[in-house]
Amino acid sequence: MKLQALSALILGALSVESALIAESRLSDVLLQMDTGFSRKEEPIKKISVSYESEPLRKLDQKQRELVDSAWNGISKSYRYNTIKEKLSKYSKHETFRGDSNSVESKFKEQAAFLPGQKLNPSKGKEDKEGEFEVLNNHKFDDYSLRIKKSSPEVLGLDSVNQYTGYLDVNSLGKHFFFWFFESRNDPENDPVILWLNGGPGCSSSTGLLFELGPSGINSTLQPVYNPYSWNSNASVIFLDQPVDVGYSYTEQDAVTNTDDAAVDFYTFLELFFQKFPEYRKNKFHIAGESYAGHYIPRFASEIINRADRSFELTSVLIGNGYTDPKTQDQYIRPMVCGEGGYEQVISDEECKSLERSSKNCERLGGICYNVPTAATCVAADLYCSRLLDPVSKRNINVYDIRRNCTTDLCYDEMEYLSDYLNSDFVKKSVGASESVEFKDCNDRVGLNFFFSGDSRKPFTSYVSELLDNDIPVLIYAGDKDIICNWLGNHAWVLDLEYEHSYDFKRTTLAPWTVDGKEAGQVKNYGGFTFLRIYDAGHMVPFDQPENSLAMVNRWINGDYGLNK
């Protein structure tokens, strides 16, 4: 979630010179413009890319023109006042300084939130003494795990045993928050699931209190019991990552890409299973949605390639994931133009325009895939994010084509959970740092990933690696989502090459039933499954709680065809 709101911020941020030059990550992108800023809503003059360095010099002239066009097509449509309003929320300075001597100095003054910059510390250091048990491991001497057992009756979310705490990266001042709920059924023997939300930059507490956790939060900030919680038959961990998301916080640089995040993720699991060695024998699954389509394949690869790991990975589950951007973005037009099982929601003229734009998006995506630099991948993201413009201008919810979007995140419940988690009572109960302001989604983190080029890169090769190592993979998608829709997810799984891809492609979509009623369509061969879930948007457990629990229970019980 949050991809669309982040796109709007990015489009604005990239129209000013201070937000464009992200030091080494965008060193090939140069800005040519008149000196200083004017108070007259003047756009910047030109953005150009230097193609003198490797690997950018590999691009031919047509490819270079397309990349330059993507940068400049965005910049010319955004004006000074719009940019000032958007950047003032994230910059240390409330006004632009038009008299600076260089682009570099302007960047350092005004864009402290971009990659490579020291964060302006607004979150105090956690007191590690007292109520937390602290664990260390000689293999990870820079890491420690703080953990405390919470009293279930205090918050009333569930009656099961609960634990909260932080993974601390001591030398770097990074602190990752987690919340663990034991199974309602048989925690000694039930599987363990770790849940990740996407963004990038959104808290997994969204999954906890909005989708699949033991309780939701209502408008009076009271917990509402969820009978379809995923901890009905599994113990569930909710991890706020990357750092600076949710209750997690950092005193130095934030993580800017999925590769770096994978190392912290793996270390957390090693220390977690050190604390709870009894769970090492249980089956362990990683699940998530949206940008977790990036996270989960890479994180799972990190696990299986660690020869000295102390636990085993059983499977992964990815819901409405963003895994193959070049392929998936080609299916935004079909989804909004009536070819995805729902009526057309934009005009015929806009559908024709989207068809042309989608071809350019695919070309830019191919350039990013073949020459994966920040200059090429950010250009692709800038251009392709505009495919959603016809939908957004109508206030259609990009996470659910059936709904309108009236707030930043389109769901009132997101505001309820933020208010709840920002209350002093809740912070004290879970041991969160008092000075941390909980944010369901942190745009600064999202921008970091965006400017590193991470968000446009494919992660399908890691899915192939998992399957070829006999790790089952479930790709499920609510069929009313627009932004990471079922058509695009179905397309990339059909294109995926792995040992049994021929056999998988030969299977057909078959009816998927829950309690005797058709609830979707399923395609399966061996340990690889694609599931379309009817009448669900981007957040399947929110829209179809009963059916999502049926899916999970079948999967974690080894029914990879989801038929029993």
Is 235 labeled as catalytic in the residue annotation?
no
User: Which of these is catalytic: 15, 204, 290, 455?
Assistant: 290
Helix H segments across 30-148? Answer: 61-75, 80-87, 103-110
Quote the CA–CA distance of 68 and 70 in Å, as a whole number: 5
Tokens 């937390």 belong to 132
Phi, psi of 393 (to 5 degrees): -70, -15
- For the chain, first and last CA: distance in Å? 31
Is 481 labeled as catalytic in the residue annotation?
yes
The DSSP H or E segment spanning 362 is helix 348-370
Question: Residue 480: helix, strand or coil by DSSP?
Answer: coil
User: Which of these is catalytic: 329, 454, 481, 543?
Assistant: 481
Question: Two tokens at 245?
Answer: 């998301």
Quote the CA–CA distance of 249 and 5 in Å, as a whole number: 22
Question: Two tokens at 516?
Answer: 């005797």
Neighbours of 1 (CB within 10 A): 30
Angle at 189 between CA 321 and CA 303, to 5 degrees: 45
The DSSP H or E segment spanning 420 is helix 412-421
User: Which of these is catalytic: 203, 538, 543, 548?
Assistant: 538
Closest-CA residue to 191 (of 183, 180, 181, 199): 183
Is 175 labeled as catalytic in the residue annotation?
no
Cβ–Cβ < 8 Å for 255, 242: yes
CB-based contacts of 184, cutoff 8 Å, min separation 6: 158, 159, 160, 214, 229, 231, 232, 233
Q: Is 469 exposed, middle or buried (0-12, 13-18, 19+ CB in 10 A)?
A: middle
Question: Two tokens at 347?
Answer: 């005009």
Closest-CA residue to 285 (of 190, 188, 193): 193
Helix H segments across 165-312? Answer: 205-206, 258-275, 292-304
CB-based contacts of 311, cutoff 8 Å, min separation 6: 269, 270, 273, 280, 284
Tokens 């079948």 belong to 554
Catalytic positions are 290, 481, 538
